[in-house]
Structure 1
Amino acid sequence: MTKFTDLKLNPKVLKAVQEAGYESPTPIQAGAIPPALEGRDVLGIAQTGTGKTASFTLPMITQLARGRARARMPRSLVLCPTRELAAQVAENFDTYSKHVKLTKALLIGGVSFKEQDTLIDKGVDVLIATPGRLLDHFERGKLILNDVKVMVVDEADRMLDMGFIPDIERIFGLTPFTRQTLFFSATMAPEIERITNTFLSNPARVEVARQATTSENITQGVVMFKASRKDREGSEKRKVLRAIIDAEGEKCTNAIIFCNRKTDVDVVAKSLKKYGYDAAPIHGDLDQSQRTRTLDGFRGGDLRFLVASDVAARGLDVPAVSHVFNFDVPSHAEDYVHRIGRTGRAGRDGTAIMICVPRDERNLEDVERLVQNAIPRLDNPLGGNKTEDAPMQADEKPKSRSRSRKVKTDEDPAAETAPGEEAAPQEDKPKSRRRSRKKDDAPAVEADAQQADAPVEQADKPRGEDKRRSRGGRGRGRDGGSGRDNKVVGLGDHTPEFIGLSFAERPS
């Protein structure tokens, strides 16, 4: 079995490694350190959590042990995609170079330019930076990259996801052609492969695991969840998350909870705190000092739950993370590998549980296709595929449903009601008929009014006659007439006098 003493490292570096408690290198370290010490370019492909950081820090410190840096001209350069990863690399240099007199500077956003300029002006052996802040210093004339002997690109695939590839290509052009390049990535996307073919010279390719594989000591699972209503999905999904945490019980000593969106990070963290869970958010929009305090609290065990965006998915080395909860299925399948790689590190067992809603099922298929394994389906701790509906107040009933029922009652009383709704009361039907009769009778009333003023020759119209019969001979005069100039407007109960005349035949 290979040991660090077999790798021809500087004795002072070996002493620091032993003091850190390490004896044997990981496969990526054993494969990358020897060619790096020979001065060759290295292309390292390994899943997260396999010790890639030491794969380049140890040979770099050995090579930089001799020599001295000049002002504004760093001797080596390490590029990282995020502030947290850059800070972690700086910590590794401090650990392994404590017996070697090397200077370093950390160039990241959220920190004063003045302090960073002061360090650069003194001259640094190791410059650790994010691409954006490095170019800011260069454009201000505070940095010269002509003396870079070793250049490292860490988490290159994450650089691609974050849109840093144009910046990386520009930085490559600012460094000497004779530099040594150590290039590390968890996956090899076509764009990453193009860069390696362009800027690396006959690299030693070290691939210790199949691309985008998950660690075997991580227990995985997914809870398929469907909300009772679309507008309740967020709150019910957070309820499922709390139920999953409670179901894990004491096994969940601490956990990282990943969300796809920064806004969800804040909402989930606030919700967990509301229900008594010790949680805090971390994402790119927070102040750097706050992010540092949160991470320090999580590493130190003072914080149990870290709710994070993918800014924390890469390279954060917190050895004893027991659980990873994916509140969302990641949009990029590769991110799933890096997220769950935060648990099960250094040979420990870990647990990764994901919540999947119907719209994320396609992303879940992409993840399973990438890892070439079906993720086991877990039962919803709340039972069924959705949480129980909360009691609905009377004023919470959807307005659209009440409108729909009202329209059906008025326009078509016989129409069926929507599923789950009560049938319209029978009293509503006569109401609609009364309105209909009133509308139909309007012309008859008007005609009746006109008939009252009509001349005698039109008085025998059947409609007017029926109306007066039904009203019991309204408006009869003192002689049995109509009360209007003794005009006969109908027989009624009175027989006119001429009817009673005899038409007997007169004697001849």
Structure 2
Amino acid sequence: MNFADLGLSDELLRAVTEAGYSEPTPIQASAIPSVLMMRDLIGIAQTGTGKTASFVLPMIDILSQGRTRALMPRSLILEPTRELAAQVAENFEKYGKYNKLSMALLIGGVQMGDQVKALEKGVDVLIATPGRLMDLFERGKILLTGCELLVIDEADRMLDMGFIPDIETICSKLPKTRQTLLFSATMPPPIKKLADKFLSNPKTIEVSRPASTNLDITQRLVPVRADKKREVLRTLLNAEDVRTAIIFCNRKTTVRELNKSLRANGFQSSEIHGDMDQPARLAELDRFKRGDVNILVASDVAARGLDIKGVSHVFNFDAPWHPDDYVHRIGRTGRAGAKGAAFTFVTSEDAENIANIEKLTGQTIERIAAPGREAADEPAAERPRRERAPRREKPVEASATREPEPHREIGARDARRDAAPELKRERGGRRDRRRERGDEDGDDGGWNGPIPAFLDVTLGR
């Protein structure tokens, strides 16, 4: 099957061909004819399957007939993040270049005045994040009564970000006779309830099991000590055939520090995270797309919605806290039928997170040894148990000894110490040396999650 078999117009087929595509993906082949027939649709598809084009292409043909009216967009696409909204806008520009359709992008981080001016002229396609759309609606800058087609994209992500109440409000302001398309990687009960309430006799298309990962992506877990992550990452970046790579971290501070470390070691890297304003983030994404840099260090703000061709590798420098984020992170590679590789660094504290990921995806991810590291450098939980011969302790006088702390192994050097002051100095020296090694490596090797209440010394002050 090719795109010409789907009933698209000649102008649209020309743009698709010039973009380098000839055969539709499974979700495109299933969804496009149904959308052209004006049916409501539920699309359950993992990221990287060509989902965006499955609604952008038929929308262009549907909207090619008709006219715009001031403040009343003819169609509305809701996206959870600014990056994904901008990506969809790029798709409309690429595929709609032979159709005279007007488009507006309503996202935070940019001047509202320019967005209002675009709305006043009238638009065929409005792409928006829920927060900015609700803001302009409450200011009376936009009317939704003329909207003929609604797309709710990444619905499960909308749920995670708390946007479902806003979406329900927006849906209630739209004409009941509209066409509604809902896309989601998973279908949790709140999304099912949303679909039942606002979609009319929808056709359901499922191209892959919910929350499954792309079979074109080779996945590996790399057990590693927290203070060795950077060293192992540099080894993998040099050893693997890395053309372009995205490296995900859980914290913005880790993103900044890791990018600085990579650049200091000669890698062409850049960064993107939530503390950057929208123009700066888009500028760094453009540098990555142009090939000015081939490594992008990112927080989860970039995990969803980025459609960048040729990303050969994804590295989870930190194992994601939420299993859904794993699916979306590694989905940045292996797109449009290409092969990709994903490596996730695992410390001894990540066992529960990895178990949740494997439970969600229904597969066991292969463990591999960290390159260049001895087994002793792996987290204790990942090392095979070895039988040890009993150790002989030299008798020492009770007055000069201290009982070892619970659950703490004393090395052979400590066992030879027969005086408490010397034992204390030796332990302190080892802590200092570990701290120095951690400073040289640039990673604190510490807690990756929120501070538990019982450890927060600021509470009660």
Tell me whether 1:278 sits opposite 2:277 in the alignment: no
Max Rg structure: 1
What residue in structure 1 maps to residue 356 of structure 2? 366
The within-5 A match list for 1:57-72 is 57-72=56-71
Q: Could you tell me which of 412, 416, 426 is aligned with 2:399?
A: 412
What residue in structure 1 maps to residue 417 of structure 2? 423
Structure 1 position 63, deviation (Å): 1.0
Structure 1 position 415, deviation (Å): 4.4
- Contact kept, 8 Å, 1:224 with 1:385, in 2: the verdict is no
C-alpha separation between the residues in 2 aligned to 1:385 and 1:166? 50
3-state secondary structure, aligned to 2:353: helix
3-state secondary structure, aligned to 1:88: helix
Tell me whether 1:297 sits opposite 2:287 in the alignment: yes
What residue in structure 2 maps to residue 247 of structure 1? 239
TM-score of the aligned structures, taking structure 1 as reference length: 0.75
Tell me whether 1:238 sits opposite 2:225 in the alignment: no
- Contact kept, 8 Å, 2:402 with 2:420, in 1: the verdict is no
3-state secondary structure, aligned to 1:60: helix
CA deviation digits over 1:179-219, x for unaligned, max 9?
Answer: 11011111111211111111111101011111122222211
The farther-off stretch of 104-113 and 341-350 is 341-350
Structure 1 position 243, deviation (Å): 2.5
Tell me whether 1:265 sits opposite 2:255 in the alignment: yes
CA deviation digits over 1:332-369, x for unaligned, max 9?
Answer: 21221111111111222211100011111111011112
C-alpha separation between the residues in 2 aligned to 1:319 and 1:283? 20
3-state secondary structure, aligned to 1:244: helix
What residue in structure 2 maps to residue 224 of structure 1? 223
What residue in structure 2 maps to residue 6 of structure 1? 5
CA deviation digits over 1:253-288, x for unaligned, max 9?
Answer: 110001122222222222222222222211222111
| Cα distance change on mapping 1:413 and 1:312 into 2, 3 Å | same
C-alpha separation between the residues in 2 aligned to 1:141 and 1:273? 48
CA deviation digits over 1:66-92, x for unaligned, max 9?
Answer: 111111100000111111111111111
The within-5 A match list for 1:190-209 is 190-209=189-208
Aligned residue identity for 2:9 = N
Structure 1 position 138, deviation (Å): 1.0
CA deviation digits over 1:161-195, x for unaligned, max 9?
Answer: 22211111111112111111011111111211111
What residue in structure 2 maps to residue 33 of structure 1? 32
What residue in structure 2 maps to residue 454 of structure 1? none
Structure 1 position 380, deviation (Å): 1.3
| Cα distance change on mapping 1:425 and 1:80 into 2, 3 Å | closer
What residue in structure 2 maps to residue 52 of structure 1? 51
3-state secondary structure, aligned to 2:336: helix
| Cα distance change on mapping 1:177 and 1:278 into 2, 3 Å | same
The farther-off stretch of 60-69 and 308-317 is 308-317
Tell me whether 1:154 sits opposite 2:191 in the alignment: no
What residue in structure 1 maps to residue 85 of structure 2? 86
Q: CA RMSD in A?
A: 2.1
Structure 1 position 387, deviation (Å): 4.6
C-alpha separation between the residues in 2 aligned to 1:218 and 1:119? 41
Structure 1 position 151, deviation (Å): 0.5
- Contact kept, 8 Å, 2:400 with 2:419, in 1: the verdict is no
The within-5 A match list for 1:94-109 is 94-109=93-108
C-alpha separation between the residues in 2 aligned to 1:50 and 1:414? 65
What residue in structure 2 maps to residue 22 of structure 1? 21
Q: Could you tell me which of 335, 351, 374 is aligned with 1:384?
A: 374
Q: Greater relative contact order: 1 or 2 (C-alpha under 8 angstroms, separation 6 or more)?
A: 2
C-alpha separation between the residues in 1 aligned to 2:42 and 2:376? 47
C-alpha separation between the residues in 2 aligned to 1:324 and 1:415? 49
Structure 1 position 290, deviation (Å): 0.9
TM-score of the aligned structures, taking structure 2 as reference length: 0.82
Gap regions ≥5 residues in structure 1: 227-232, 389-407, 429-508
What residue in structure 2 maps to residue 119 of structure 1? 118
The within-5 A match list for 1:460-479 is none
Structure 1 position 19, deviation (Å): 2.2
Structure 1 position 328, deviation (Å): 1.5
Percentage identity across paired residues of the two chains: 56
C-alpha separation between the residues in 2 aligned to 1:352 and 1:166? 35
What residue in structure 2 maps to residue 328 of structure 1? 318
CA deviation digits over 1:478-508, x for unaligned, max 9?
Answer: xxxxxxxxxxxxxxxxxxxxxxxxxxxxxxx
C-alpha separation between the residues in 1 aligned to 2:24 and 2:181? 18
